[in-house]
Amino acid sequence: MAGVTQPTDQSHFILPDLGEGVHEAELLKWRVSVGDTIKEHETLADMETDKAVVEVPSPWTGVVSELCGSEGDIINVGNILVKYDIGGESAATSPDPPQESAESESEGEDGDAGTVVGNVSGELTVSSRFARRSDEADVDTNHSGRSLATPAVRRIARELGVDIGRIRGTGRGGRVTASDVHGFASGGVADRSPAATSETAVSSFAPQSVPVPTDLPPVDASGVSEVVPFRGVRRKIAQALDLSVKTAVHFTVVDEANVTAIDAKRREYANVLGQKLSLLPFVMTAVCRALGRHPELNAIVDDAKSEILRKDGVNLGCAVDTEHGLMVPVIHGAQSLSIAQLGNAVSQLARGCKDRSIERERLQGGTFTISNVGSYGGMFATPIINYPEVAILAAGRAKERVLAEDGRMFVGKVLPLSLSCDHRVVDGAEGARFLNTVVKLLEDPDTLIG
């Protein structure tokens, strides 16, 4: 392809990549209506990926002729989002985009490949590679025998390990769609009949939830006050938990730590810093120290390659409860941070999760996760591993209790701890040893903080 075709009277805007690894997004709200005249970069819709809400801007100035989806629909990357009537004047005055080769458009790993750039609060722009007619220039037109497909669809095929050349496209002009790739990856063969193409186009906007068995007993729907579908973050949570419990072999070991002394240190730190400081940063520090002594737990599993990948640094995930659902931001390089720095990092990430401004990169790459169930009154738990990690620690609520030591009784503060591990990777004895190391560190402030 010598260049990128300028949009003309009828143009289609397909949903671009909204972030690395994002294959679909939920349509939260349309910002435009059919018949509206919109300007370039004006927001078309609010879309929700698994973790973030993104404003999708218009690549052109024109009149909206069709909105391809309803609020609440799940739309795949590469499917048409909006159809336009582009006036001759606006098309003529639009600057010509730079010349690019088809090879770099479809295969470039480092290019933006039509990625929406920016964050929730900032201005978002769309790569010019999507600013064109979908029936002319959004496909790879290299006539060397390769299948016709958008860069987004080719990326999906690569991630699924599918040879896109073997897939029969059901899109316009034989284009391979994202639905074709997913269907082929699951063992299906695309039907190129017009009826099948139409059905695929309609079903691609249907909400999808976690697969469930077909032989479930009937459900009594009487007296229901509200029906809440699996959407947005809640849907992704359900999928992640379902994958974890079906893949990782969970076991849980529990213990308690006498945190009377470390709680006194916490109050001293809080007075010096002039701010509130919970026990969580101290638990994080103990976990980072313990992972250095028990590297088997600072790892992830690559099930596709049957490999265990032990990591050097500790990328510590911290589960955050929000009104949108559970989110797990990651503190990268946590082993190098002080207790005060960990406390500030937790506060910043929690705010970002709750107002949905957190960057996607801060929600990825974890090697171990901590869940602070004690902040809501819980004690012991059986936390589910944040797959593909191999372990997660739940910290319960510290409570005062009468304790005995060296024949004397006193009132102290006890912190319940629950550790879940993937038994395929971590032996029960090693899990118990790791938790014992965490307990000993928490019970000896001088060793932990020194």
By annotation, the residues acting in catalysis are 423
For every residue of 253-297, DSSP letters joined together read: EEEEEE-HHHHHHHHHHHHHHTS---SHHHHHHHHHHHHHH-GGG
At residue 156's C-alpha, the angle toward residues 26 and 355, to 5°, is 35
Tokens of 376: 């809501």
The CA–CA distances, whole Å, from 127 to 52, 174, 292, 310, 315 equal 20, 24, 43, 37, 32
Closest CA to 43 of 51, 52, 54: 54
- Of the candidates 22, 4, 107, 109, the one whose C-alpha atom is nearest the C-alpha of residue 59 is 4
Q: Are 393 and 417 in contact (CB under 8 A)?
A: yes
Query: Cα-flanking dihedrals φ and ψ of residue 249, to 5°?
Result: -95, 100
d(CA 366, CA 186): 28
Q: How far apart are CA 282 and CA 259, in angstroms?
A: 10
Q: Which of 295, 251, 228 is nearest to 427 (CA)?
A: 251
Q: Please choose, from the candidates 307, 284, 309, 282, the residue with its C-alpha nearest in 3D space to the C-alpha of residue 298.
A: 309
Are 180 and 158 in contact by the 8 Å Cβ rule? The answer is no
Angle at 114 between CA 88 and CA 125, to 5 degrees: 70
First and final CA of the chain: distance in angstroms?
63
| β-pairing verdict for 325-327 and 320-322 | antiparallel
147 closest CA partner among 173, 128, 129, 127: 173
Strand runs (DSSP E) across 22-172, as ranges? 24-30, 37-38, 43-48, 53-57, 62-67, 74-76, 80-85, 116-117, 125-126
The span from the CA of 334 to the CA of 356, in Å, is 22
- Tell which phi-psi region holds residue 377, choosing left (phi > 0), alpha (psi between -120 and 50) or beta: left
